[in-house]
Each structure stands twice: as structure tokens, then as C-alpha cells.
Amino acid sequence: MSTTTFTRDGVKLSLFDSGSGFPVVFQHGLGGDGGQVAENFPDRPAYRRLTLECRAQGASEPGIARPFSIAMFASDVLAACDARGIQRFVAGGISMGAAIALHLAVHHADRVTALVLARPAWLFDTAPINMRSYAEVAAMLRTASPNMAREHFSQSASARDLARTAPDNLASLLKFFDRPDPATTSDLLGAIANDGPGVTRLQAASIRVPTLVIGHEIDYVHPVAYARELASIIPGAKLIEIAPKATQKPLHVEQFRHGLDTFLQHILVSEEHSS
């Protein structure tokens, strides 16, 4: 079990690899890191978890390639798997990580044995309305100092609405003003907020691997309606709705880990029977 540096195109990326077991690639959300995954993932010896901290996030360098994109991050993930000799794996993730996993399941279907979409923030369109506040933060960081940008955003209609309806989302957004490189943070948030998974509804309906979708209420950025819709579109997908992170975080984490563990155990048994 170790965290190492994986270098691609001259960019040093932080890669966690638990080392043995059935491969599960599980990615973090926008602005997150491996710690977010570790909190929610049921690490067991049976699972070989890989988490690549995406460019400009966690301990990974940003590199010079722009714009950042979900497709770029998915390509980095695939390259890390290639470097580790991993041909087939469960693809999963939280929020942006779910979009990366969905991209992989459609565009690299031969590599993906199962799919986990946790707290999805995208369906099929680019620049969904629920990501607009990230674009607002990006724009403010481009035109003002971090402290001034934080003040402007805190007084915005978006911040007031989130404080009332999704305080957990607001707390996450405010952390971006504390990051050490506001220019890179602006590039990251602006690009990803206006991006999408690069998958159509028809392509999602063509997915033929076991799929788990996890959603919950009290979350504007990750609407439970998105989780329900994805589960209804992907054939045979299982939907679990867990306690809201904003109001019941310990229970949320417990139910997230339990639901994911149960799903992965079923996948593991299926793989063992088919081999």
C-alpha cells in the first residue's frame, strides 16, 4: 500500500495503489484528493484500489496543458493503469470522479468490468446549471485577490442560496479561496464547471456492465435527481440513496462504504466464477 509519483507528459501526478487484489479505480471530486476517497472507500485486501490525484489537485502538478477536462483526467487514469499493468478494472468515483468513470465506461468499455457513480454532478450536457457556482468562483479568482474574491462570492446570490439549501456545498466552494495558486484554481474550476463527461444518453443506455449509483438529498451540486436518472438509463443499474452528507455525515460515510462494499463483493464473486 503506497502513494507514489506517476509522471505523464512531464507532469508529476500522485498515485495511490494499495498493491494487490481485484483492481478498483476510484476517483475524487473536483478540488478533492485521495483523502476524500479513502474516507468513503471500504479498503479490503480483496480490492486493489488505485486513486490518481488529478492534475492541479491533491499533490499532483497542474502541468501546462489547458484547458483541463474530464477527458484529460480520464486519459491520465488510463495511462496510470497501463503503467501498472492493469488491463481491466472497476471504474468509479465521486462527483467529478463519477464523470471520469462514466467517460471510461463508454469510451474504453473493454477495460471496465463494473461502474460506480457516486454523487454524480453531471448527466450528459456540458456546463450544467448545478456547476454554475464553480464557474462564478473561477471568474472571481481571475479578477480579484483571493480575499476580495471570497468576500464578493460570500455576498453573491449563489452563496446565499447555498447557505440556505446546501451548506455543505458552500463550505466546499469557500475552500477554493484558500488554495495557494489562484490562477491555476481559476483555470481548473472554470474549465471543469463548463465541461461534461463526453457521453450521450444513448451511449449511457448502451452500458452493459454492473453499475451502482449512489445519491442523496440536500445537495445542490449533486442533485439526487441526477443519480435517479442515471440509474434509470443505464440497464440494470442499482440505485442506493443514503443519508445526506450535509446533515448526517457519519451515517452518510457508513452507508456509502457499506453500499459500495456490498456491490464490490458481488462483482468480485462474479469475476471469480467467470474466471
Q: What is the pLDDT of residue 82?
A: 98
Q: How far is CA 194 from CA 2, 68, 108, 126, 211, in A?
A: 34, 10, 23, 6, 26
- Predicted confidence (pLDDT) per residue in 3-37, tens digit: 999 999 999 999 999 999 999 999 999 999 999 99
- Span 77-97, average pLDDT: 98
Stated length of the chain: 275
Q: What is the pLDDT of residue 275?
A: 60
- Predicted confidence (pLDDT) per residue in 149-164, tens digit: 999 999 999 999 999 9
- Alpha helices, DSSP H only, in the chain? 34-40, 70-83, 96-107, 132-143, 146-154, 157-165, 167-174, 182-193, 201-205, 224-233, 249-274
- Span 73-79, average pLDDT: 98
**Average pLDDT, whole number, for the chain?**
96
Q: Rounded to an integer, what distance in angstroms lies between the CA atom of residue 231 and that of residue 209?
A: 13
In the chain, pLDDT over 90 holds for what percent of residues?
95
- Span 81-91, average pLDDT: 97
Q: What is the pLDDT of residue 251?
A: 98
In the chain, pLDDT over 70 holds for what percent of residues?
99
Q: Rounded to an integer, what distance in angstroms lies between the CA atom of residue 159 and that of residue 62?
A: 27
- Predicted confidence (pLDDT) per residue in 254-270, tens digit: 999 999 999 999 999 88
- Predicted confidence (pLDDT) per residue in 191-204, tens digit: 999 999 999 999 99
